[in-house]
């Protein structure tokens, strides 16, 4: 069934599409005009003609897709493209992440991209934007996901690091290279000891510092003496686990920082000493609060626990449906999503693309 003609955003094989504006949002196939919510690999892909992204994300976008035709827009400023008024608003997910607000013919739609409602020292907080239709992610869209305040989690990381350092054991935290790693760096107590950044993390750190985000000084492993390493905190991508690079730290404590660490099964599967529950996505209550704050009577759900969230929203009186997307694809580099229980769009396959 074709979606209602007046919808400002529809799902097409290439990505989410705005018919009056003739542009796509975070498309997964090459298109001429792409609006980008943030620079994670499943949302920002190479090969489009023109890119529009937030000004704050310029350096990380360039880091990811290189020298593309990129137009940037500061948060809150609007441009008009083919009669559609477009503005970007902080999503609180990672540096430069934005919700995309579209206004046309008296209707306002907001596409959330990925977002979290809690604080993050590396990016401005999520800004609720009033709209008629809200397109939301649902990565952690089940009531079992409830985050502790980040100061509690950083406190846990600090305690663990201190305890390891006290017995001369290096502490390795695995965190997604872009976003989570910088949040960990910005959140821990840098006074405890030396911080070592894996090369992939250090490269993103540079883009963050150049964008004006304060991060503590880190060293490369080659700059550290063996004694220094014993009390150090190492921040590395999850792919480094079990690699030759990690073996140089000898017997060490290891941990993973991710929302998925909320689940005991996911924790134990990784065979790590610790799992720190630190997510850049909204938890269940965060999603519901964000949805309520938009005032939107209609909500369209993308990647995550789509089916339960849609059903819940309908039971609460919302008009709700799902978009099938390729965000959060587990074959993509996004390790944050690699432990996902459902692939995106998976549970949405038997649902109408728009409400009846």
Partner 1 sequence: MKDFATLFADLDASTSTRAKTDALLHYFRRAQPADAAWALYFLAGGKPRQTVPTAIVRATAREMAGIPDWLFDECYSVVGDLAETIAHVLPPPRAQVDLPLHVWIEERLLGLRGQPPEDVAAALRGYWDELDTPARFLLAKLIGGAFRVGVARNLVLRALAEAAGIDAKLLAQRLMTYTDKSHTPDAAAYLQLLDPEHRAQASGQPYPFFLAHPLQAPVETLGERADWLVEWKWDGIRAQFIRRGAQSWLWSRGEDLLNGRFPEIDATHALLPDDTVIDGEIVVWREGRVQPFAELQKRIGRKNVTKKILQEQPVALLAYDLLELRGVDLRGAPQHVRRGQLEALVAPTPASALQLSPLVDAPDWLALTALREESRARGVEGFMLKAREGRYGAGRTKDVGVWWKWKIDPYTVDAVLVYAQGGHGRRANLYTDYTFAVWDAEPPTDGTALDPEQPRRLVPFAKAYSGLTDEEIRQVDRRVRDTTIERFGPVRGVTPTLVVELGFEGIQASPRHKSGIAVRFPRMLRLRWDKPVEEADSIERLRGYLGVTANTGPGLQS
Binding positions for partner 1, rule: CB under 8 A: 142-146, 262-269, 271-275, 305, 307-308, 311-312, 315, 330, 339, 341, 343, 346
* C-beta closer to partner 1: residue 99 or 136: 136
Nearest distance, CB of residue 275 and partner 1, angstroms: 8
* C-beta closer to partner 1: residue 205 or 329: 329
Distance CA 160, CA 166 (A): 10
**Residue 144 host element (H or E):** none
Nearest distance, CB of residue 320 and partner 1, angstroms: 14
Distance CA 212, CA 305 (A): 35
* C-beta closer to partner 1: residue 145 or 327: 145
- Smallest CA-to-CA distance from 301 within 92, 22, 115, 111 is with 111
Residue 199, C-beta contacts closer than 8 angstroms, at least 6 positions apart: 220
- 240 burial type by CB count under 10 A (0-12 exposed, 13-18 middle, 19+ buried): buried
Distance CA 17, CA 110 (A): 13
Nearest distance, CB of residue 274 and partner 1, angstroms: 6
Distance CA 174, CA 162 (A): 17
- Smallest CA-to-CA distance from 287 within 330, 279, 191 is with 279
* C-beta closer to partner 1: residue 178 or 256: 256
* C-beta closer to partner 1: residue 205 or 339: 339
Nearest distance, CB of residue 44 and partner 1, angstroms: 24
* C-beta closer to partner 1: residue 23 or 145: 145
Nearest distance, CB of residue 239 and partner 1, angstroms: 14
Q: Is the backbone of residue 304 left (phi > 0), alpha (psi -120 to 50) or beta?
A: left
Other beta carbons less than 10 A from residue 311's beta carbon? 13
Nearest distance, CB of residue 337 and partner 1, angstroms: 13
Nearest distance, CB of residue 30 and partner 1, angstroms: 24
Judge whether 141 and 304 are in contact, CB under 8 Å: yes
Residue 104, C-beta contacts closer than 8 angstroms, at least 6 positions apart: 8, 20, 21, 83, 84, 85
- Smallest CA-to-CA distance from 327 within 89, 133, 113 is with 113
Other beta carbons less than 10 A from residue 322's beta carbon? 28
Nearest distance, CB of residue 31 and partner 1, angstroms: 26
* C-beta closer to partner 1: residue 103 or 283: 283
Q: Is the backbone of residue 201 left (phi > 0), alpha (psi -120 to 50) or beta?
A: alpha
* C-beta closer to partner 1: residue 161 or 312: 312
Nearest distance, CB of residue 269 and partner 1, angstroms: 5
Judge whether 91 and 26 are in contact, CB under 8 Å: no
* C-beta closer to partner 1: residue 312 or 327: 312
Nearest distance, CB of residue 310 and partner 1, angstroms: 12
Structure tokens at 157: 């990381």
* C-beta closer to partner 1: residue 114 or 342: 342
């Amino acid at each position: 069934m074709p979606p209602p003609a007046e919808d400002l955003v529809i799902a097409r094989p290439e990505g989410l599409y705005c018919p009056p504006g003739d542009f796509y949002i975070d498309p997964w196939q090459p298109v001429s005009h792409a609006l980008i919510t943030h620079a994670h690999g499943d949302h920002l892909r190479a090969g489009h003609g023109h890119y529009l992204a937030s000004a704050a994300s310029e350096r990380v976008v360039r880091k990811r897709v290189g020298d593309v035709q990129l137009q940037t827009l500061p948060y809150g400023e609007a441009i008009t493209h083919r009669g559609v008024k477009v503005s970007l608003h902080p999503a609180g997910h990672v540096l430069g992440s934005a919700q995309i607000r579209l206004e046309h013919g008296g209707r306002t739609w907001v596409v959330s991209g990925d977002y979290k409602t809690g604080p993050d020292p590396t990016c401005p907080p999520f800004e609720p934007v009033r709209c008629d239709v809200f397109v939301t992610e649902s990565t952690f869209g089940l009531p079992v996901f409830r985050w502790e305040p980040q100061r509690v989690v950083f406190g846990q990381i600090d305690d663990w690091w201190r305890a390891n350092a006290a017995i001369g054991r290096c502490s390795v935290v695995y965190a997604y290279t872009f976003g989570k790693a910088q949040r960990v760096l910005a959140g821990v107590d840098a006074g405890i000891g030396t911080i070592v950044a894996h090369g992939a993390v250090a490269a993103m750190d540079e883009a963050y510092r150049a964008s004006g985000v304060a991060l503590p000084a880190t060293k490369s492993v080659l700059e550290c003496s063996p004694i220094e390493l014993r009390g150090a905190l190492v921040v590395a991508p999850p792919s480094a686990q079990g690699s030759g690079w990690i073996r140089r730290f000898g017997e060490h404590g290891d941990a993973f920082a991710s929302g998925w660490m909320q689940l005991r099964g996911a924790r134990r599967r990784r065979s790590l000493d610790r799992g720190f529950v630190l997510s850049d996505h909204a938890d269940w209550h965060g999603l519901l609060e964000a949805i309520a704050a938009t005032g939107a009577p209609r909500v369209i759900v993308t990647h995550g626990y789509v089916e339960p969230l849609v059903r819940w929203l309908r039971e609460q009186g919302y008009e709700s449906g799902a978009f099938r997307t390729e965000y959060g694809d587990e074959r993509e580099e996004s390790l944050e999503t690699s432990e996902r229980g459902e692939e995106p769009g998976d549970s949405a396959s038997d649902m109408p693309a728009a409400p009846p």
